[in-house]
Amino acid sequence: MQNKKHFITCDKCGKDFEVNKIKPEILQVKFRAINADIYYFVCPKCLTVFPITIIDELGNKYIEQLKNLSRKFLALKGSGEELKLAKLIDSMDRKQRQIKNNTEKLKTIFDGEFIAKKVGGEIQVQFFSKK
């Protein structure tokens, strides 16, 4: 896998900082009996946290299912099995919607603030729920 780095500009302090889009930071959070991974970037200057996405066990299961469907699709591509391919496209669309809906649901559950602080040179992030 490529280790691509990009720069983003902090909305709050205007600093440009390097982020790894393929491997963002991950915060594991447990709230209301749901274990979730929150993917985020954090500004090294002002410590503002920028959450990217949130995934739980169900979301990971859907992602695995989507990967399987696309593997099947690629294996069948060009075989002339148009009906099977059309069905796979439908299934992949449905799976993508499920992933999106699940993430939206998680965003409403994990509604709160992310606060970063420096602990011994390392940036640590904590989640504080509004509810």
* Residue 39 phi, psi dihedral angles, 5° rounding: -95, 130
Binder of Zn ion out of 6, 13, 84, 126 (CB under 5 A): 13
Which tokens belong to 118? 């420096």
Q: What is the 3-state secondary structure (H, E, C) of the chain?
A: CCCCEEEEECCCCCCEEEEECCCCEEEEEEECCEEEEEEEEECCCCCCEEEEEEEEHHHHHHHHHHHHHHHHHHHHCCCCCHHHHHHHHHHHHHHHHHHHHHHHHHHHHCCEEEEEEEECCEEEEEEEECC
- Closer of 18 and 90 to Zn ion (Cβ): 18
Binder of Zn ion out of 10, 38, 42, 55 (CB under 5 A): 10
Piece of the chain touching Zn ion by CB under 5 A; list 13-21, 49-57, 111-119, 120-128: 13-21
Q: How far is the CB of 46 from Zn ion (least distance, A)?
A: 3
Q: How far is the CB of 3 from Zn ion (least distance, A)?
A: 24
String marking each residue 29-68 x if it binds Zn ion according to CB under 5 A: --------------x-xx-x--------------------
Q: How far is the CB of 123 from Zn ion (least distance, A)?
A: 12
Binding site for Zn ion (CB under 5 A): 10, 12-13, 15, 43, 45-46, 48
